[in-house]
Structure formats: structure tokens, C-alpha cells
Structure 1
Amino acid sequence: MLEVAGLGELEERAYRLLVRAGEADAPSLAEELGLTAEAADAALTGMRSAGLVREVTPGRFAPVAPDVALGPRLVRRQETIDWARQAVEQLAEEYRASARRRTPTAWSRCCRAGRRCASRSGTSRTAPRRRSSTSAGPGTW
């Protein structure tokens, strides 16, 4: 659940245990989580460098308050999501503008078909007929 804040599964489990217990050392963390002592020590070292725990006495660690440890991470993630959302909105607008330029208007579609249609000014127009390659002579349509 806290991977959004940058915690892996092991770090989250260890951090939750420390929040409940108040403090722990690597051997007791390993025993509670079913880890090797080396894995528990690595998790504590990683969490310490990430600012999630602090060493209260040599070898014993306590959690940093969740709002202090995780709040800034979540704010940064939210900012990143907001920037991405703005980029998507900008791309969507560019897409719509491009689609409008690519889509022929109703007038141009009907006039190309040689039908009578109303122009934007409200008057009717008929598209000029194309010159046939089998026409009688120059200047005839």
C-alpha cells in the first residue's frame, strides 16, 4: 500500500512493526517478520537512510512519525501526478485542435460531392463541376 510513498513490501512491513512496537533491534525485527538477521539489518539501514527510522541507542531503531517521514514523499508524488495530469490535458487539447484541422467541414464535404449545401453565411452554394476528361472542348465543364 505504501509503495506510492516509495516503500517496498519489506520496508513497509518493518516500518509498520516499528510503529506498533515503538522501537526494535534487527534480531527482534527479523524474528517478528520471519527474516534473516542480514535482511532485517539491510531493511533498517535502508529505512534509516530514507529517513523513516532513527537509531535511538546503538542497534535499536524507532520509527520517525509517519506524517514527517512519508508526508513529503507523498507531496512530491502528488506534484508529479499533477504535472503529468497537466501534460495529458495539454496533449489532449493539442489532439483536439489537430483533429479539428484534419476533419473537413460539412460544407467542404458536400461541395466535393457536387451537392447543394448551405455555407456558413447562410446562402446556398453549389460546388463547381469538375471538368471531365471526355468533355467536348476547351472551356466546357
Structure 2
Amino acid sequence: MLEFVGLNERSELVYRSLLSLGAATPAVLGERLSLPVPLIRHALAGLEAAGLAAASASLADHYVAAPPGVALAPALSQRRHELHEAERAVEALAEEYRRNGAAVSGVADLVEVVTGVSAVRHRFEQIQLGTEEELLALVTDAPVAVRAEENDAEDIVVARGVIHRTVLSRASLAESQVVAQLALALGRGQQVRVADSVPTKLIIADRTLAMVPLRRLASPGEPAALLVRAPGLLEALIGLFEQCWRLAFPVRFSSDGGLPVEELADQPDHVDLQIVSLLLAGLTDASVAKQLDLGLRTVQRRVQRLMVLTGVTTRMQLGWHAYEKGWVAR
């Protein structure tokens, strides 16, 4: 977190320990952090050089931490200045690109074709990391360049608090690891829905930039994608997403089930909730068993138990009861 002032992870741990202790010897810090004293002294030397720590004037072989607000303020000010200059440089480059593009084509800055696995993957990551407020996505069962478990940029964006809405095609749930990724996404606050079918893969960042795959435009086996900034096209793509979102079924289960421990005796556990959610999303008993790594008879037995628990005689009634009980979202 403090890499911007040149601190590595060990030095940051030592600085945080000093802040909490007030003053400490290298030996005490080493015991607290389970690190050899020579490594602690090396970290302290780096902290002294950065102005974040100093030897105590009153206690022998003790070190004290400098107040963060004072010690880190110059570095923060410099970083803000560098960021401002970088923004100005990007704006100047963008303006030059618009001028040169307009001389060649009136739509040079409105659409762009990206070809090749590496290029598509890079732009997909750029779009996500550049999102500030809202990220919309349609997901089909055929990855273009990045599989769900490979999308590290998504974790970073979600951690920043970006609103993330995704519509999955039901067929995509058959993909390996998708249900595990779905549970993780729901557990960290992402909004996910499942639709019978999704017309195309799509990602829209802040309603100002979209990326759509292009089929068979490049050489065989080589993916291609279209980046869209044109307002009219963006409105159409946003409308497509919102229509898919309205027609899709909300999926709400998390890795821990989201239920208090004391209620588990009279309520479904997290596996039950996953089973109900996937059944309501349209999966068969066999598909649910495969996705959750359960036996088919186990799934059927759990469904029967839920029917007894709710006092219903059909699965349709069980689905209605699941809504009424708040086990799944309407």
C-alpha cells in the first residue's frame, strides 16, 4: 500500500508495528513480526531514509514512527502532481489522435477493431481497470480471449467499489469453475442474473465505452473485437444489456449461505440455497449435481427435504415458497 514512497511489504509491516507500539526495539519488532532482527534493522534503515522512523532520543536502541500525516504528505503531493501531469499528457495525446483521425475518417475515434488474443485480452483488461462507476457485462458460454477464472482485473475493479452487473447465459453455467466464480462474485456484492440465452458477449464501462466480439473477422481461430464510443451505438448496446437484465433471473447465494448459525436447524443450509437457486435458473438435477460436486441422489434427497420443510408437494410450490421465505431474490 505504501509502495509509492518506496517501501516494500516488510518495511510497511515494521512501520505499522511502530505506529501501534509507539516505540520499540528491533528485537521486540522481530518477535512481533516473526522476523530475524537483521531484517528488522534493514527495514528500519529504509524507514529512516524515507523519513518515516527515527531512533528514539530518550530510549536506547528504540525506534519511533513519524506521524503518517507529516511523513507521507510530501510523497502524496508529488504523486498528485505526477498524476495531474499524466492526465494532461493523456488529454493532449487524445486531442492529437482526434485531430489526426478526423483528417482520415469521420468515425476514427468512434469505433476501433482489435484483433488477436493478446490485443483483445489487453483491451479487455484496460476497459475494466479504467472503469470508475459502473461495469455492465453479458457473458455467453464461449470465452473469446479471457476465461472467468483468469479475469484478475475484475477483482481489482470490484475492490474499488465499482458497481458490477452481469447477465450470464444459462449455458455458461456448464463451464468449469463458473459456479464457484459466481458464488465468489455474489459474496463480494456483485449483481448477477441468469438468462435463457444471451445474444452476444458485451462489456460496457461507465456507459461511455463498449467492447463487442466480432466473429470470423480475423484469420481462423484468431479473435477480434469492436470497441465502440459512438453515442448512438452505445445507446443501442446499453439498451440491449438492460433488456437482457430485465428478462434474466436473479441468482442470490453466497459461499457461506448468508444465514445465522442459530437458524440453520430450521432453515436450508448454503448447499440447499445453491441447489434451489440453480434449479430456479433452469438447471436439471443432474446439472446441479455436477456443478456442486454432489451425487444425483443427494440433490434429489435435499430437494425432497426442502419440500417437507416447507410443507409443499410440487417443485413449483417449492420455488414460490423459496421466494416468500426470502431464500432467493424475486
TM > 0.5: yes
**Count of residues paired in the alignment:** 105
Q: Secondary structure at the match of 1:62?
A: strand
**Equivalent residue runs for 1:1-141 within 5 Å:** 1-56=1-56, 57-103=59-105
Question: Take 1:104 and 1:51, find their aligned partners in 2: how far apart are those partners?
Answer: 54
Question: Which segments of 5 or more consecutive residues in structure 1 lack a partner in the other structure?
Answer: 106-141
TM superposition shift of 1:102:
1.2
Deviation at 1:104, TM superposition (A): 6.4
Quote the Cα distance in structure 2 between the aligned partners of 1:13 and 1:99.
49
Alpha-carbon distance between aligned partners in 2 of 1:6 and 1:77, rounded to the nearest angstrom: 12
Distance 1:26 1:59 in 2: 8
Higher helix share goes to which structure?
A: 1
In 1, the alpha carbon distance for the partners of 2:61 and 2:78 equals: 31
In the alignment, the residues of structure 2 paired with residue 90 and residue 6 of structure 1 have an alpha-carbon distance, to the nearest angstrom, of 30
CA–CA distance in structure 2, aligned partners of residues 104 and 50 of structure 1 = 51
Residues 112-135 of structure 1: per-residue CA shift (max 9 Å, x gap)? xxxxxxxxxxxxxxxxxxxxxxxx
Distance in 1 separating the partners of 2:106 and 2:18: 64
Q: Which letter maps to 2:32?
A: E
Q: Deviations over 1:59-106 (max 9, x none)?
A: 21100110111111111111111111110010000000000111269x
How far 1:31 sits from its partner (Å)?
0.9
Q: Distance in 2 between matches of 1:58 and 1:68?
A: 24
Secondary structure of the corresponding residue to residue 38 of structure 1 = helix
Identity %: 37
**1:54 maps to amino acid:** A
8 Å contact kept, 2:23–2:63? yes
Q: With the length of structure 2 as denominator, give the TM-score of the two structures.
A: 0.31
| Change in CA separation of 1:59 and 1:103 when aligned onto 2, cut-off 3 Å | same
Q: What is the CA–CA distance in structure 1 between the aligned matches of 2:106 and 2:44, rounded to whole Å?
A: 63
Per-residue deviation, residues 1-54 of structure 1 (Å, max 9, x unmatched): 222343211111111110010011111111111111110010011101110001
Larger Rg: 1
Alpha carbons 2:53, 2:66 under 8 Å: kept: yes
Structure 2 residues not aligned, in runs of 5+: 108-330
RMSD across aligned positions (CA): 1.6
For the Cα contact (< 8 Å) 1:5–1:77, is it kept in 2? no
**Would you say the 8 A contact 2:5–2:50 is kept in 1?**
no
